[in-house]
Structure 1
């Protein structure tokens, strides 16, 4: 292990951690007005609770990670380094799991007549992330035993990393593909069968945000898998914080974009039309399946 390569990788990880934290904080500031207007005034629901849990776990977690990697803080010791090896990855995976739970509800609400889809998506979500958590805890246990505090770089440097760590990124990638397929299929069926103009803004949001999220997150996860499988261990932190920040930012923006999309027909339609759509849009706001009338064909 060359010292120059270790220092260079550490500096790059610091830049990524600072950039990820800056992106998350800046995006939160940009959305604060809409967040208060659209989310803050709504009654409590699962979607609203998950939205704020993403905020609560992401920004403090990224700040903690950036602080730990910062060269400007006070020097650490062996115990603090070992604690960092546990806290940061677990908090990262927990935050990403909450983000995907929020995104899963977005897809589930589009299948109110099909409990099988709901069961499959939730079981897949739980199975993929329980697998990731189990593998992560197993790998962290091995890392904490082998990690050594290096005073020169002021961090704990593990001597090795199990190849199983890639499962932490591969399992959620499987679920992401399943969720994306369910979203695209539902949107295509609705557009072909009903072609409702009142729902087109919502479907445009689902298409645009869903495809964008899938492409970005798939690329980011593949990058992290490559780092953890084929690259030296001291490069492991380079992509972790960026992925964490991107998941949080995109999931929160998708949530707010959906709310904005379902509110537009209410503002543009007549009073009678607005009244008939209010139940559907409010249900989506609350992330609860809308009541389907007998006259609606699916």
Structure 2
């Protein structure tokens, strides 16, 4: 008769191997999806972003766009058993964790600019958004550092899984995702309230206003955050990193698509023979966006020798 303890240990080992392999391949799926989308959108990046006037949003977008794939390649390298050790894996976890917080911060700043412009740079909204962003970023970073330090004793190299596994986790892990989610709920609420408070003609439905302001992007982003929170709340160390890198890739992918579409709408708008103060019509297509509220037009660095069609949108936001 088999020893119940040995049988239980065998089951735990097998399940641990399954989760380790699932983490490895799910993370690889996220990297492949992000790289594939990067190649597909590279022409738009060159034509819409590289040629745009210098601004904080332009460089923040480019840094985040290339930072995340580079980080995920580092993760894939460590998970592929290329001279990995418990110490090197912990270093990788700490490095990618810090980079992920920076990525979240950059993404939230770009979204902040978008919402701020939807509100016509209202001073109270400006203060609320920046204070909320600063508090959210500080709490996220602090909870992440605390979580990584708690992980250190529980990281061990598994020769069977050919990667490091965790023997424990902490309750603070959920705070890493709850704090930015709280900020994103604020952004979502301000976006909806702004759409509700705007006067609109009878032939323009509220759903068109919300779609134009990017409500679908905010809903997708919030849903992805909930996935991370759900796995964090299980308190199962085998699930700690199961989908985290996939979600990071998808959040970056959605953000890149959203901002490229906003910039495309902005460029198209600058080519229309319309007054910048003319009322907006309903957007076309399910992802129609408002090009007037583009973060790439906020805090543009002036260039004396620059002239062209983009002068319209450059002055439109910087003079306000």
Would you call these one fold, judging by a TM-score over 0.5?
A: yes
| Deviation per residue, 1:157-195 (Å, 9 max, x gap) | 2321111110111111111110011122223333x25x5
**Of 44, 53, 57, which aligns to 2:63?**
53
1:209–1:254: 8 Å Cα contact kept in structure 2? no
Distance 1:205 1:21 in 2: 34
- Report the alpha carbon displacement of residue 25 of structure 1 after superposing the two structures with TM: 0.9
1:78–1:149: 8 Å Cα contact kept in structure 2? yes
Report SS of the residue matched to 1:290.
helix
**Of 187, 195, 200, which aligns to 1:187?**
195
Structure 1: unaligned runs, 5 residues or longer: 294-298
2:48–2:260: 8 Å Cα contact kept in structure 1? yes
1:180–1:210: 8 Å Cα contact kept in structure 2? no
Instruction: Tell me what 2:302 maps to.
Output: none
Matched, 1:129 2:137: yes
Instruction: Tell me what 1:213 maps to.
Output: 217
- Report the alpha carbon displacement of residue 228 of structure 1 after superposing the two structures with TM: 1.6
**Alpha-carbon distance change, 268 to 210 in structure 1, aligned in 2, over 3 angstroms:** closer
Aligned pairs, how many? 280
Matched, 1:36 2:57: no
Matched, 1:144 2:171: no
1:146–1:158: 8 Å Cα contact kept in structure 2? yes
- Report the alpha carbon displacement of residue 22 of structure 1 after superposing the two structures with TM: 1.0
Between Structure 1 and Structure 2, which shows a larger proportion of helix residues? 1
**Of 77, 89, 94, which aligns to 1:86?**
94
Report SS of the residue matched to 2:214.
helix
Matched, 1:238 2:242: yes
Structure-2-length-normalised TM-score:
0.79
1:24–1:245: 8 Å Cα contact kept in structure 2? yes
Instruction: Tell me what 1:252 maps to.
Output: 256
Instruction: Tell me what 1:296 maps to.
Output: none
Instruction: Tell me what 1:169 maps to.
Output: 177
Distance 1:107 1:48 in 2: 17
Distance 2:210 2:317 in 1: 17
Instruction: Tell me what 1:118 maps to.
Output: 126
Matched, 1:103 2:107: no
Q: How does 1:216-231 map to 2 (within 5 A)?
A: 216-231=220-235
Structure-1-length-normalised TM-score:
0.84
**Alpha-carbon distance change, 291 to 185 in structure 1, aligned in 2, over 3 angstroms:** farther
Distance 1:95 1:53 in 2: 9
1:38–1:256: 8 Å Cα contact kept in structure 2? yes
1:75–1:154: 8 Å Cα contact kept in structure 2? no
2:55–2:298: 8 Å Cα contact kept in structure 1? yes
1:109–1:284: 8 Å Cα contact kept in structure 2? yes
| Deviation per residue, 1:8-65 (Å, 9 max, x gap) | 1111112211111111111111111111111111111011011011112111011111
Report SS of the residue matched to 2:53.
coil
**Alpha-carbon distance change, 262 to 43 in structure 1, aligned in 2, over 3 angstroms:** closer
- Report the alpha carbon displacement of residue 204 of structure 1 after superposing the two structures with TM: 5.1
Distance 2:156 2:40 in 1: 41
Q: Which entry has the higher C-alpha Rg, 1 or 2?
A: 2
Instruction: Tell me what 1:290 maps to.
Output: 317
Instruction: Tell me what 2:37 maps to.
Output: 27
